[in-house]
Structure formats: structure tokens, C-alpha cells
Amino acid sequence: MIILAIETSCDETAVAIVKNGKKILSSIVYSQVQEHEIFGGVVPEIASRKHIESISQLSYEAIKFSAIDIKDIDAIAVTYSPGLVGSLLVGINFAKGLAYSLGKPLIAVNHITSHIAANYIDNESLKPPFICMVVSGGHTQIIEVLDYVKFKVIATTRDDAVGEVFDKVARILGLGYPGGVKIDTVSKLGDPLSYAFPHPKVNGLKNSTVVGESLYDFSFSGLKTTVVNFVNQKRMKNIEIDINNIAASFQKTAVDILCNRLIEVAKNLNYQHLAIAGGVSANSLLRDTLTQMCEKENFNLHIPQLKWCGDNAAMVGIQGYYEYICGNISSLTLNAEAKNFTGNI
Ligand code: KG4
Ligand code: ZN
């Protein structure tokens, strides 16, 4: 079964051709970073316009590179939520037009579950149930993957997503946009123990199934404010700051918070297989720290290849395949949804 998959939830326009939920025949990602860089972040209006300009050409190229004929496509999968509504709508409408004109089914895919599905690429050993921490620019969640299309959110952030905080700290340090990868790079030149930034304390219920009430929830706004205030105060007093040391200390704090929580949840819920996903899962310290912790604790850790951590359409094609075989076909009235993922059981 061949799926043409589309992803336009934020500032990457991506199209992929995926065979049988396993083989990536082609995957093209057009990043709009250059368009948004001068504004220091994603400008939604510009993002939508750039998606419109590139989506037809990218689809044409994805089909060409995969060496299939357009008639070989069996279904169209598209990200419908969460994300920037104007951006999502470009992908959704293009997907609808293609599905209608080819007479093929349309499959709606959630962005968070597609990030999780990036772990299935090149990894035959991973099958649900397992636990996955999704860390991106908009989400920080620990999710029970009960089967390929059933998800229970165990923990979520009460305020900022961790990727958002990486971007904000990078901006205050003058590292520019996108910030996560820049923090990752300069941290290698700094001492992660030079500053002690705070770990959050979150009140909640251990067994709560209500999103936002879990004892396992994250909170990153305190860490963000501490780093921002620290930098601003030094600057006001004309005290020189060491950007590399601040970046490294911040990164270590954020990574420790994430890793400790994932291991705690895995132990308490008795999961053996752990995974991470989303843009921040590209972070080198997160990957290394979690690898070491999982080795020590005897957990099986699954991490997507770097190219599948950020937004791409291959992961949409993989998750789309599982949605399709579970009968989750969408109608042509499909609309975009901005709301955060809350699971589906
Ligand atoms: O999944 P993603 O590409 O888009 C969303 O769904 O949000 O994640 C983007 C986020 C951004 O906040 C970006 O700064 C962060 O992932 N990111 C990183 C790294 N690479 C990307 N954060 C930390 N370290 C990295 N190497
Ligand atoms: Zn994403």
C-alpha cells in the first residue's frame, strides 16, 4: 500500500511517499527557517503563504524521486492537528484535492502521534505497548502508546513546551532562531555545572487521568524566567556573561528534568520499552543522557534517527498507514484543529 503523506503544521513543508507503513520511498522537507529568521520566530501568515507556494512542487518531486506513478498512490495522509491553523489548512486542502481527484481515501493524522511513529522507521524491534516522551516546540508530553492508534497522555507541560524554552533562551543569549540546535552546539563549549538553575515542583495526583492534573506533569516557565532574569540582571550591571556556560547549564537542567521524569514514569508504570520523539529529541545531551540512564536501569531505549526528529512527512505516512488499517478514514469535511493533544482513550 502506497501513501502520499503531507505535513504543514508549522514552518516545514514536507511530502513523503511511504510503502506499507515501513519503507520510505521518498521524503522531502522544505524548511522555511530563512523566511522566519529575521523575525526571531515563526510568523504564521508567512508560513501559510510559503506552504502554498511550495506544496505542489514538493509533491511532484516526492512522486518523481520515489519512482512511482501518481496512479500507484492508494491513500493520502495529512497532518490535521495540532499546529498553526492557517498552515495546517494548506496541507489539508491540498490533500483533499488530491484524494478527491484520484478517488482515494483521505487519512487524518495527528502531529504528535506521527512524531511517535518516527520511531518505527528502521526499527523493527519497536511495537506497542511502549512509553514515549514527545518533546517539541509545542509539546512536552509522556504518552502511553497502547497500540498503534491508541494513546494515553500520562504527563504534559503545565506551561511552556521545552522546545519553546530552548528557543527563548537562545534568543536572550543572542544565538538567533531556531534556538534549540544552537544551544546544543554552544553547550559543547561550556561547563554544564557552572550555574545551578531550578528544577520545578509540580503538585498533582499520581494516578490522575485528567490532563493537567498529573503529578508527573512538567513545568518549564520557572526555568525559562530564571535564565532570562539572570542574563538581564548581569547585562544591566554590565557584568560580562559566558554564553556557553549559561547555555550548557540551562541545557543540562532541562535534560535532567526530562530524563528523570521519563525514567520515573517508566518504572512506576512498568514499561520496558521507552522512546523519545519530536524536534528536541535531536538534542545530543538528551540522547546521550537517556542512553546512559537506560543502560544503567536496563530499559530498552528507542530514538529516531536525527532526520526523523524534526517535522517531516515520512512519519505522517507511517502513522497514516496504521490509521488506515485500523479503519480510520477521514471525510472530505476534515478541518484543522489547533488544540493540544490529549490522547484518545
Ligand atoms: O517537532 P519540531 O520540529 O516542531 C514542532 O512540532 O514544534 O520541534 C521544533 C523544536 C524547536 O523548539 C527547536 O528549537 C527544537 O525542536 N530543537 C532542538 C534541537 N533541534 C530542534 N532543541 C534542542 N536541541 C536540538 N538539537
Ligand atoms: Zn513537530
Q: Which residue has the cell 508527573?
A: 216
Residues 278 and 229 grouped into a single domain: yes
In tens digits, the chain (345 residues) has pLDDT values of 999 999 999 999 999 999 999 999 999 999 999 999 989 889 999 999 999 999 999 999 999 999 999 999 999 999 999 999 999 999 999 999 999 999 999 999 999 999 999 999 989 899 999 999 999 999 999 999 999 999 999 999 999 999 999 999 999 999 998 899 999 999 999 999 999 999 988 888 777 767 678 899 999 999 999 999 999 999 999 999 999 999 999 999 999 999 999 999 999 999 999 999 999 999 999 999 999 999 999 999 999 999 999 999 999 999 999 999 999 999 999 999 999 999 998
Q: Which residues of 14-52 are buried (b: 16+ CB within 10 A; e: fewer)?
A: bbbbbbebeebbbbbbbebeeebeeeebbbbebbbbbbb
- Kindly tell me the burial class for residue 201, based on how many C-beta atoms sit within 10 Å of its own C-beta (0-12, 13-18, 19 or more): exposed
Residues 32 and 139 grouped into a single domain: no
pLDDT at residue 158, as a whole number: 94
Report how far residue 189's alpha carbon sits from residue 244's, in angstroms, rounded to the nearest whole number: 6
Using only the alpha carbons of the chain, give its radius of gyration. Answer: 20
Report how far residue 78's alpha carbon sits from residue 331's, in angstroms, rounded to the nearest whole number: 12
Question: Is pTM, for the whole model, over 0.95?
Answer: yes
Residues 211 and 88 grouped into a single domain: no
DSSP 345: -
Strands, sheet with 150-156, edge to edge from the N-terminal-most edge strand: 150-156, 140-147, 130-135, 273-277, 300-302
What residues are paired with 276 via a beta bridge?
Answer: 133
What residues are paired with 301 via a beta bridge?
Answer: 274
The residue whose C-alpha atom lies closest to atom 23 belonging to ligand 1 is: 180
Number of domains present in the structure of the chain = 2
**Structural domain range at position 260:** 125-303
- With the most atoms of ligand 1 within 8 angstroms of its CB, the residue from 88, 136, 160, 224 to mutate is 136
Residues 11 and 156 grouped into a single domain: no
Residues 87 and 200 grouped into a single domain: no
How far is the centre of ligand 2, averaged over its atoms, from the C-alpha of 236 (Å)?
36
Residues 283 and 318 grouped into a single domain: no
Residues 181 and 274 grouped into a single domain: yes
Task: Write out residues with Cβ below 6 Å of ligand 1.
Answer: 10, 136-138, 163-164, 166-167, 178-181, 184, 278-280, 282-283, 310-311
Residues 107 and 151 grouped into a single domain: no
Residues 131 and 259 grouped into a single domain: yes
Residues 141 and 289 grouped into a single domain: yes
Residues 208 and 262 grouped into a single domain: yes
How far is the centre of ligand 1, averaged over its atoms, from the C-alpha of 330 (Å)?
29
pLDDT at residue 209, as a whole number: 66
Residues lying with their CB under 5 A of ligand 2, a single-atom ion: 136, 311
Report how far residue 5's alpha carbon sits from residue 153's, in angstroms, rounded to the nearest whole number: 25
Residues 11 and 56 grouped into a single domain: yes
For 20, residues 6+ apart whose C-beta sits below 8 A from its C-beta are: 1, 321
CATH number at residue 64: 3.30.420.40
pLDDT at residue 211, as a whole number: 67
How far is the centre of ligand 2, averaged over its atoms, from the C-alpha of 8 (Å)?
10
| Closest to 254 in 3D by CA, of 338, 292, 197 | 197
The residue whose C-alpha atom lies closest to atom 1 belonging to ligand 1 is: 279
